[in-house]
Amino acid sequence: MVEILAYALGIMYSPGPLNLLSLNAGLNGQIRSTLRFCIGVGCGMLLLFLLFGYTGAWLVTPRFQLLISATGSLYIAYLAYKIGWGSIKPAATQTVEQSETAASKLNFKSGLTMQLLNPKSFIVILPIVTVQFPAAQISGGSIILWSLLLSFLAFGAPGSYLLMGARLGKLIRQPRFFRLLNLAMSGLLFYVAADIGYSYVYLQLV
């Protein structure tokens, strides 16, 4: 059972689109509003664990995975664009607190949607429910308990990045640094979107 937690922590807490968005929100001081985003992420993971924990992997057909990956890649690229565009607006039209970035629009619904469309979610879930759960003889009601535990870990991943961003944001006062950091986050998200599109969409079609 320790192996389940170790695997989930290793995947969930590595840099990904949800964690990067939370980090960016923390840098911009949007703590309270982004907590709802983190809760949405956790609830999305709970739904996926319950769905695939009781039905197995037979629902995840290649065509379904392709659709999820393509949609998720486009959505992440859209958020990256919003962050980047908000950062290159003339400084006179925005303040650090009022900068219109994608992070300012993070909420429960967007967290839930992104988790359901995040290919990384399936990298976490499928090996656990198809291999590790049966190996540990986890079935029936135990699936619910483990799904709740792993979903709490999923909430904690963007939550920890949010707190790290908030801590770093307090050390930075000049607006130009915020713009540079937002642009860096935008670039990273574009890279993540391109990587998902290439690995989970393009390579599946060729």
Mean pLDDT across the chain, nearest whole number?
Answer: 80
| Contact partners, residue 102, CB within 8 Å, separation at least 6 | 21, 24, 79, 80, 82, 83, 86
pLDDT bucket at 149, cuts 50 / 70 / 90: very high
pLDDT tens by residue, 188-206: 878 878 887 888 788 888 7
| 126-144 average pLDDT score | 85
| 182-188 average pLDDT score | 79
- pTM of the complete model: 0.75
| Contact partners, residue 163, CB within 8 Å, separation at least 6 | 26
> Among the listed ranges 8-17, 53-62, 98-107, 170-179, which one has the minimum average pLDDT value?
98-107
* % of the chain at pLDDT higher than 90: 21
Query: Can you say whether the dihedral through the CA atoms of 79, 82, 87, 88 is positive or negative?
Result: positive
The tokens for 95 are 């303040």
